Amino acid sequence: MNKKILKAVVLSSMLISSAVIPFGTSASANTNLIEVEQSESWKLPVFDSIKNYLDIKVENGFTELQGYEIGKVLALKDRTEKENKYYVSVVDKNKETLGYAVLDGSNNYEVIEFGLGKEEPLKDANHNISYYGPLSYAENIGNGKVKDLLLNQEFDKATLINEINEVEQPTDEYQVSPATIINYAYKYISGVPDYQQSSITTMINTCVPVSAANIIMYWDANGYPNMVSTNNWINVANRIAQIMLHTNVNGVLPQYVTPGMRVYFDEHGYTGFGVTRDTSPTFSEAQTIVNAGHPSLLGLANYTVISPNATGKHMVTLVGFETYYDTSTQKWSQQVIVHDNWDSTGTQVWLKWSSLPVTDIWEISN
């Protein structure tokens, strides 16, 4: 074996052997030696960090991840063309997708996005991908253009780079050790649909109607049977779009969300439903909403992290949270769980709260 490779294998085995083996998982799932060329030594902290993250998940009841293996690992460029974000595919022993993760190399390789499910956004991608923020992946397509892989829209690359003020500085230093977790808390509102924008072929920019339909169809199946006239969520989304003055150019403007939801509830005889907009939400407030069992609307300034000239936002459905204190880093992990309207990201998507461009939460209360 090449001495450079041997050195990396020894270091990798030292890192991996310190990770917790979850439940009754076979050791082979988490302790295989991984050969890494010296030129790809950046993979070592990525492996260690994602294993710690997944072990915590398994230890706290996510049995679907038991026996996980690490699949594809990609270095992603940020908005300043630095490779300091990392994409990891999580697979089972048959190499079938269990989920995916994005790690931040400029912040101790923390997981800032995690999707649980059979879908992943970069399943067929192998290189030349940039990560511009939560749920924002772009491919360099040449001619000075990048193509967002979820929005399926093209943007001018020079405009992106020149107008970004925040410059992220990657680091080659890392110290990832097995996490000691205390104060673990998790809540997920089960039964909330995860509809996709791609299912609506008569309109575009439909994140608000789709997110609203997730909530309305949930309540229709949970004690409010007159919430939907026909058991067709697309009809619900179309009605929401009509009430909220949706256009293909602008989607739905934020000021129409609250009155639009109220009109819909009134039309179906449920005047007791509340719609409360918070324009400066905190993680604690998101926890309170989820603990109350209220799937709600969460606004992200996604389009502005893709293009500084854009003014649009993205709406997702808030359905859960996970939080714990990691004594090895002396930091809180705070993540919200959302249904994000994209068919390539799995059913549940964890997003790190402190890295989110959250603009608003509309709590929908029964």
Residue 212 and residue 88 share a domain = no
User: How many angstroms separate the CA atoms of 331 and 12, rounded?
Assistant: 25
Nearest-5° Cα angle at 17, 110 to 105: 20
Residue 50 and residue 125 share a domain = yes
Band of the pLDDT at 311, cuts 50, 70, 90?
A: low
Band of the pLDDT at 283, cuts 50, 70, 90?
A: very high
Residue 326 and residue 209 share a domain = yes
Residue 191 and residue 151 share a domain = no
Q: Which of 160, 178, 196 is the last residue of a domain?
A: 178
CATH (domain of 319): 3.90.70.10
Main-chain dihedrals φ then ψ at residue 336, nearest 5 degrees? -100, 155
Residue 324 and residue 256 share a domain = yes
User: How many angstroms separate the CA atoms of 93 and 171, rounded?
Assistant: 32
| pLDDT for residue 19 | 31
| pLDDT for residue 310 | 45
Q: What are 55-112's pLDDT values in tens digits?
A: 999 999 999 999 999 999 999 988 777 888 999 999 999 999 999 999 999 888 999 9
Nearest-5° Cα angle at 259, 254 to 264: 120
**pLDDT of 254 over the 50 cut:** yes
Write the CB contacts of 123 (distance below 8 Å, at least 6 apart in sequence): 89, 97, 344
Residue 191 and residue 170 share a domain = no
Residue 331 and residue 276 share a domain = yes
| pLDDT for residue 174 | 55
Q: What are 205-229's pLDDT values in tens digits?
A: 899 999 999 999 999 999 999 999 9
Please say whether the dihedral angle defined by the alpha carbons of residues 48, 84, 358 and 306, taken in this order, is positive or negative. Answer: negative
Residue 137 and residue 8 share a domain = yes
Identify which has the larger pLDDT, 179 or 82. 82
Residue 157 and residue 44 share a domain = yes
Q: Which of 127, 157, 178 is the last residue of a domain?
A: 178
Domain range for 164 is: 3-178
| pLDDT for residue 156 | 76
Task: Please give the tally of structural domains in the chain.
Answer: 2
Write the CB contacts of 283 (distance below 8 Å, at least 6 apart in sequence): 321, 323, 334, 336, 353
Residue 143 and residue 168 share a domain = yes
Band of the pLDDT at 302, cuts 50, 70, 90?
A: low
Q: Classify residue 280 as exposed, middle or buried by CB count within 10 Å of its CB (0-12, 13-18, 19+).
A: exposed
User: How many angstroms separate the CA atoms of 327 and 315, rounded?
Assistant: 34
**pLDDT of 124 over the 70 cut:** yes
User: How many angstroms separate the CA atoms of 149 and 325, rounded?
Assistant: 34
Alpha helices in the chain (DSSP H): 3-17, 27-31, 43-59, 157-162, 207-220, 233-243, 257-267, 283-291, 302-306
Q: What are 22-52's pLDDT values in tens digits?
A: 222 223 334 344 455 556 777 899 999 999 9
Least confident range of 249-258, 309-318, 333-342: 309-318
Residue 226 and residue 148 share a domain = no
Q: Classify residue 239 as exposed, middle or buried by CB count within 10 Å of its CB (0-12, 13-18, 19+).
A: buried
Least confident range of 192-206, 259-273, 294-308: 294-308
**104 with 51: CB under 8 angstroms?**
no
Which of 164-168, 244-248, 302-306 tops mean pLDDT?
A: 244-248
Q: Which of 143, 178, 213 is the last residue of a domain?
A: 178
Task: Please state the rounded mean pLDDT for residues 180-184.
Answer: 89
Task: Please state the rounded mean pLDDT for residues 168-178.
Answer: 53
Write the CB contacts of 27 (distance below 8 Å, at least 6 apart in sequence): 21
User: How many angstroms separate the CA atoms of 127 and 75, rounded?
Assistant: 8
**348 with 317: CB under 8 angstroms?**
no
